[in-house]
Amino acid sequence: MARRPEQEEVVRKRRLGVIVVDPLPVVRAGLAMLIDDRPDMEVLAEAGDADHGLDAIQRVRRSRVVVLVGLGLAGEHDAFWLIRTLRQQFPAHAVLGCGANADASLVSRALFVGADGFVDKNIDPVEFLQSLRKAADREMVLAGPAPSAVGSIAEGLERRRSLDVKLTEREREVLSVAAEGLTAREIAGRLGVRERTVTTHLARIYGKLGVGSRLAAIRLAAQSGLVTVGTITE
């Protein structure tokens, strides 16, 4: 016997809704085909950058949602900005970082800012789909990293927690901008403060981290996943 329209709507809403945010169109298309082929899940939206992804997520009216965030999202609003924003605005949604052979520090950073787990694009499709289901059920997911990398991910989380305790929010902001390779004057312009204020912050950062230069401070922060390194200017 055929289902009535209202029954079809109930079945549809019971499916696991997935939102794919990844900078690569081919990756988004491939993931959408894989997910939509399953009767218990469907792709609700796709986006190629964090801002469009956030807009799409805000329009979704579904309680059981997993957001796949490609760690390759770059720019001021990168993958980590999106993960942090989603955790703040949509705490009920599951958020999974996604990448191919991602560095352990990037995975640690994604977990620290709020991701519920990480899935590697190189894993078997069946395991990939099962990871989405586990995340939707609020299980912690680490699918794909080699066993040796799991230890590095955990160490990265501990280093990140240590830096967060040592540094103020403003000092973390200064260090993050410094990692883009900007001079003290350029950092001051970006943050809307005086150049002397920036150099004071940097001096305090060096003291708290026990290092003697900007390069050493940024290297330490990058190892913890606190910053993404650009071209460093001493």
Banded pLDDT at 24 (limits 50, 70, 90): very high
Specify the higher pLDDT residue, 145 or 184. 184
pLDDT per residue over 108-141, tens digit each?
A: 778 877 888 899 888 899 999 999 999 999 888 8
Which tokens sit at 158? 């501990």
Please report, for the chain, the start and end positions of each structural domain, with discontinuous segments joined by +.
5-153, 162-223
Q: Which CATH architecture has domain 5-153?
A: 3-Layer(aba) Sandwich (3.40)
DSSP H helices, 90-213, are 104-112, 125-136, 147-166, 169-178, 184-191, 195-209
pLDDT per residue over 44-70, tens digit each?
A: 999 999 999 999 999 998 888 999 999
Place of tokens 């160490």: 155
User: What CATH class has 162-223?
Assistant: mainly alpha
Contact 163, 214 (CB under 8 A): no
Which tokens sit at 206? 């060096």
pTM given for the model: 0.65
* Amino acid of residue 170: R
Q: What is the pLDDT of residue 66?
A: 95
Which tokens sit at 102? 């991602």
- DSSP symbols for 190-221: HHTS-HHHHHHHHHHHHHHHT-SSHHHHHHHH
Q: What is the pLDDT of residue 179?
A: 84
pLDDT per residue over 182-229, tens digit each?
A: 888 999 998 999 999 999 999 988 888 888 888 888 887 776 666 666
Supply the mean pLDDT for the chain.
Answer: 83
Taking CA atoms, 65 is separated from 16, 70, 114, in Å, by 6, 16, 15
Helix pair angle (214-223, 147-166), 10° resolution: 130
Q: How many residues does the chain have?
A: 234
